[in-house]
Structure 1
Amino acid sequence: MAHMNDDEGSPERAGGGHESSGEPARGSMDQGALEPLGRPGLRHWQQSTITDPDLSDRGGVFFAAVEMTRMPMILADPRQDDTPIVFANNAFLDLTGYEEGEVLGRNCRFLQGAGTDPDHVRQLREALVEGRATALEILNYRRDGTPFWNAVFMGPVHNPEGEIIYFFASQLDVTNRRESEQQFRQAQKMEAIGQLTAGLAHDFNNLLHVINGSLERMAAKRHDEQAFERYLAAATTAADRGAKLTHQLLAFARRGRLEPKGIDLSELVNSVAELLESSVGSKATLHLNLQRRLPQVRVDATHLEMALLNVVVNARDASPNGGAITVTTKRVHLNGDAASRQLEPGDYALLCVSDEGTGMAPHIVARATEPFFTTKPRGEGTGLGLAMASGFVQQSGGRLEIDSGVGRGTTVRMLFPILERQADEFAPKTAPTGYQTRPLDNPTAPPLVLVVDDSREAAAMAGEALQDIGYRVVVAHSAEEALQRFDEAHGSGDAFKLVFSDVIMPGGANGLVLAKHVADRDPTVPVLLTTGYNDEMAIDGPQPHAMDVLGKPYRRSELIDRVQAALRRGARTGPGRTTSDFGHAQA
């Protein structure tokens, strides 16, 4: 029979012979704990104690209540091998589709399947081993193979001596709720994509208008040198702004090209202090509160400078009446609060920007890092500053947080994990001995370059730029065609000195696959890759062969510099490696 503790902790007899008592959960629910009926007052027991562990007498009120409830419940015996289920009520059998004889004596892992998260399984296993309560939602499978989301609360049952004799688990099918949440998230995602697309279309249409208009005026003013140069400069500036916009979007999407290294946040802030001071203007006052000898973090310094500048400029714009803008750096330790911040426990370096401006309402804070969302008047802000900063911080393994309130200013915190080993371990290594430089076989013969791009316009532009400085060029529009041209040239004795290829191409082989085939055929031929999107580029790890990567869009001078560097690399007797826009490429 059951003794249930009330809120004051005094036993309340429910009647009968055998006894059980429970320790109810107190205060707020543990993270992940469930309130199946949605009533704030409803609590699960965290653990319980029974005076008679015999399960054969099912005539008591306790078993009658367990059998009639609609909530699936089971008991498992940790004293037996593999902690088998020794009791399952009818609701559990209805939920899973199994018969009682198919359940008793089996470990509950038979409910798991291909889609079950191993981390959830680990959490359950650890709770069993440690003899503690736990609550989570796990993907299980019914007897017919259909999946369902199972909200599980599990806790130990003790005998009077304090020994654990059973584990009790109540369960709830929350599949409908999970699907509704997913549909809501998808609707939010589509709304955000619509806003992003509209913002992109607006900004790029403006840039294209400037470029097209300038080109038309250049054609009309081709005999007016000053006007021609003016319109050429306008078109070039608009193109550069478009490139910057795509870089910001890649940073927001956490797919931007980063070149991380160990840096001291305090030293970085000091190095850009004059720029920050000029950015805040005459009304606001910049204060620096920097911890000396701050442990290093591994980030891309250029992207961090841009993120910091964007946050400081936002602080300035939010302070029309002036006031202090304070940049702070310090070391912090996250322990119990790390999980709520979606970070691992440990030491972090904090970069913080605080202002005394107008502040933001909660609904504005919630959208502050959305791309193209801005409260500034039209034409005064792109809405990408905080989005770019947030994307960069997350890509660097950290977290950006915003604390703000109307009338009390805003604080933006950027947390970065501290390096366990400092930056000297990441210094460039000297080239191994034996990498001797040798001249080209025939330095007077123009090098033969294979240009590969599925875009005929892009291939033609690159080819013409190389031909202008004396290189011979063969163009291909797929990896398959490129390999055919490569084999033909090598078979004729007039071998290619360089392959310049786009990464993303249609068909079965991309630029990385092409580079591997080239290395298999002739490892002395360098490969220069180009792409505006690095999702297929691996940043770390051992490299099977040397290659360089030129990010799009690139200028003619950048292309020529990289091609010449690659040709010099190809003149070595052994394999080499150069630093690229993407770190290192890997096939």
Structure 2
Amino acid sequence: MTPLRVLLVGDHEEDFFLIREMLERNRSLIAADLEHARSLEEARELMQHRPYGLLLFEHDAGDDEAVRLVTDLLHDGRPVPFILLTEDADEKTVADIIGGGTWNCLAKSRLDGATLVRTIHNTVALHSLHLEQQSAEESLRKLSRAVEQSADTVVITDCQGVIEYVNPAFEALTGYSRDEAHGKTPRILKSGEQGPEIYQEMWKAILGGNVFRGILVNRKKNGELYYIEESICPIRDVDGKVTHFISNGRDLTERLRLEAQLLQAQKMDAVGRLAGGVAHDFNNLLTIITSYSELALDSVPHNSPLESKIHEILQAARRAAELTRQLLAFSRKQPQALRVVELNSVVSTIAKTLPRLIGEDIDFSLTPGEDLGPVRIDPVQLEQVLMNLAANARDAMPQGGHLQIETSDVRLDDDYIHGKPAVIPRGHYALITVSDDGHGIPPEDLPHVFEPFYTTKPSGKGTGLGLATVYGIVKQNNGFIWVYGEPGCGTIFKIYLPCVSERHHLSEIKETESHNELGGSETILLVEDEASVRRATAEFLRLQGYNVIEARDGVDALALAKEQNAIHLVVSDVVMPRMSGGALAKEVARVRPDTQFLFVSGYAGKTILDHKVVDLETNFLQKPYTLRQLSSKIRRALDTASPTSRPK
């Protein structure tokens, strides 16, 4: 056992020898080593270099030096117990002198070995208890601060579930103050959105002494729902009896909202890729249908009974082509002609056509905002968006109603963005709000309104692509769309389009029909991996007088380009096996730098750009096309020697 180190402070040498002798005689009762400091300065010096378990102070009447030392040592954070050796043991006087800490006193006149040993034992033991109490109190204070400052909710109830304590995080999340929650049960938060099974499972777990973990849907004081991950466990007394329950909860509302948005975005992206692929296949088939129908139309006499039938086929193909354009819009692969425009001007022009679309039973109003920033968008696509939203509103108001379009300039900050269903970055936007007072949208349908082919309309009353097209166009133009609706309360669509800094308008490239007669005698290398499309196109071009060389893909085409004496134009699909149209163009440019290219594809937009096609405006034709469109594009390409029509 390590001896207790004791420091005697006082200038009476005989007292030091007397106390040391007492401790030596009682070595069997207490192991202590006594040291002597004859002054305050010496005591301070010794205490700076070695720890002491007990201090003995000689206090003479009227001597304030020991008082100062005791007070100083108490205040500088060294928790050492004290015994004052006085002429008489007046505890009131000692208390007035020390005022705190662990202390005791002995009268020198009655000092003996047994009394000294007993007093030392009591003082040291009391000091040890005092330190333990201080440590326990500090631990409780830390625990209290931790619970009070926790970001998670903490609720303590008795074993019947009556609330005895809630922390500030609970108040902030639920809206209930401590006073309001105290004495209530957590049933004040019950939302009715979950069945009784989860609560039965919870009580079964905690009454059995186990921990319950689960996600609950609760209701705030203001009626708003929130999701919380709860961990509830019993609190036991020293005998193991359950006396209370403690619940720790973490708000999951925002995280679940963001996860749902991510899943929805991933689903929409997957469906968009599928839609783009389907549109490509449809466009190839429609190209075959329209090409052979046009060839058939040219081969039958005017006013022949077959003429009207072929026209019906072409009309049906045009309607099918419109569906594929909507699929491409949804998949964000629709070709664009972007312009920097003043939104009010474009919307006002489009709005003039809407009354004819929605009918006389629906009132229409346009409220343009002031000082809107310019936006970059394809005006034709914007018209498609507003037409689809207007048609959707018309169908929601069969008995008539009101349709309103508003524009406004908005600058979104974190406070505005927080809680919005769509993740919208901070910034400057032009906002288009389209609202109606129709039958609204049920909550179960709201998450699905932008999905392709999803419709609540009766069979035959819609394709289910209208809002999907709107969604795709808005996303393709780097915008964001948000919808809100309740049954019987109408529907509101908000479209946020990012503003740009340019105040000038992009120059418009307008397609004009060539004044030259269509057709010619030049040599055309036709590259198309779809055999039926290739045969129909080749037949038509030969009828136009061209010399046509056919290739099934880029590899075959490159070999033919190297063999032939003259090739004036290459008409090539973009996405092909073995070698794409873009790669073919680069290879041909090495051996025939003056050869022009015209690209055709059932894909569009980003997919075409990914394959390094140079200019969607001048050397690209979207499938399905009419033979006259193809002939016009070919003639224009042959008559133009622009270096931009070839890859660099």
When the two structures are superposed, what TM-score results if normalisation uses the length of structure 1? 0.59
Take 1:445 and 1:320, find their aligned partners in 2: how far apart are those partners? 55
Residue 24 of structure 1 pairs with residue 92 of structure 2: no
Take 1:546 and 1:278, find their aligned partners in 2: how far apart are those partners? 32
Query: Computing the radius of gyration over CA atoms, which structure comes out larger, 1 or 2?
Result: 2
**Which residue of 343, 359, 362 corresponds with 2:443?**
362
In structure 2, the residue matched to 1:476 is: 551
Residue 260 of structure 1 pairs with residue 338 of structure 2: yes
Matched residue of 1:561: which SS? helix
Task: Give matches, 1:77-476, under 5 Å.
Answer: 189=267, 225-292=303-370, 294-336=372-414, 337-338=416-417, 340=420, 341-424=422-505, 426-427=506-507, 446-476=521-551
* Distance verdict in 2 for CA 1:223–1:529, change over 3 Å: closer
* Distance verdict in 2 for CA 1:544–1:240, change over 3 Å: closer
In structure 2, the residue matched to 1:566 is: 637
Q: Which amino acid aligns with 2:581?
A: G
In structure 2, the residue matched to 1:537 is: 608
Q: Is the 8 A contact 1:519 1:545 kept in 2?
A: no
Task: State the Cα distance separating 1:445 from its structure 2 match.
Answer: 8.6
1:402-444 per-residue CA deviation (whole Å, 9 max, x = no partner) reads 11111111111111001122343x33699xxxxxxxx9xxxx9
Identity of matched residues, % = 32
Task: Give matches, 1:479-518, under 5 Å.
Answer: 479-489=554-564, 494-507=565-578, 509-518=579-588
Q: Is the 8 A contact 2:582 2:612 kept in 1?
A: no
1:125-164 per-residue CA deviation (whole Å, 9 max, x = no partner) reads xxxxxxxxxxxxxxxxxxxxxxxxxxxxxxxxxxxxxxxx
* Distance verdict in 2 for CA 1:539–1:477, change over 3 Å: closer
Matched residue of 1:269: which SS? helix
In structure 2, the residue matched to 1:552 is: 623
Gaps of 5+ in 1: 1-11, 30-39, 45-171, 431-438, 578-584
In structure 2, the residue matched to 1:98 is: none
Take 2:330 and 2:136, find their aligned partners in 1: how far apart are those partners? 60
Q: Is the 8 A contact 2:372 2:408 kept in 1?
A: yes
* Distance verdict in 2 for CA 1:317–1:472, change over 3 Å: same
Matched residue of 1:332: which SS? strand
Task: State the Cα distance separating 1:229 from its structure 2 match.
Answer: 2.1
Q: Is the 8 A contact 1:367 1:373 kept in 2?
A: yes
Q: Which amino acid aligns with 1:473?
A: V
Matched residue of 1:530: which SS? strand
Q: Is the 8 A contact 1:537 1:586 kept in 2?
A: no
Matched residue of 1:538: which SS? helix
Matched residue of 2:609: which SS? coil
In structure 2, the residue matched to 1:48 is: none
* Distance verdict in 2 for CA 1:586–1:497, change over 3 Å: closer
State how many pairs are aligned.
Answer: 392
Task: State the Cα distance separating 1:43 from its structure 2 match.
Answer: 7.0
Task: State the Cα distance separating 1:189 from its structure 2 match.
Answer: 4.9
When the two structures are superposed, what TM-score results if normalisation uses the length of structure 2? 0.53
Q: Is the 8 A contact 2:149 2:168 kept in 1?
A: no
Task: State the Cα distance separating 1:295 from its structure 2 match.
Answer: 2.1
**Which residue of 585, 594, 608 corresponds with 1:524?**
594
Q: Is the 8 A contact 2:396 2:438 kept in 1?
A: yes
Take 2:153 and 2:475, find their aligned partners in 1: how far apart are those partners? 31
* Distance verdict in 2 for CA 1:452–1:353, change over 3 Å: same
Q: Which amino acid aligns with 2:644?
A: G
Task: State the Cα distance separating 1:446 from its structure 2 match.
Answer: 2.2
Q: Is the 8 A contact 1:404 1:411 kept in 2?
A: yes
* Distance verdict in 2 for CA 1:416–1:553, change over 3 Å: same
Task: State the Cα distance separating 1:334 from its structure 2 match.
Answer: 0.8
Task: State the Cα distance separating 1:487 from its structure 2 match.
Answer: 0.6
| RMSD value, Cα | 4.4
Take 1:543 and 1:392, find their aligned partners in 2: how far apart are those partners? 23
Take 2:425 and 2:409, find their aligned partners in 1: how far apart are those partners? 15
In structure 1, the residue matched to 2:101 is: none
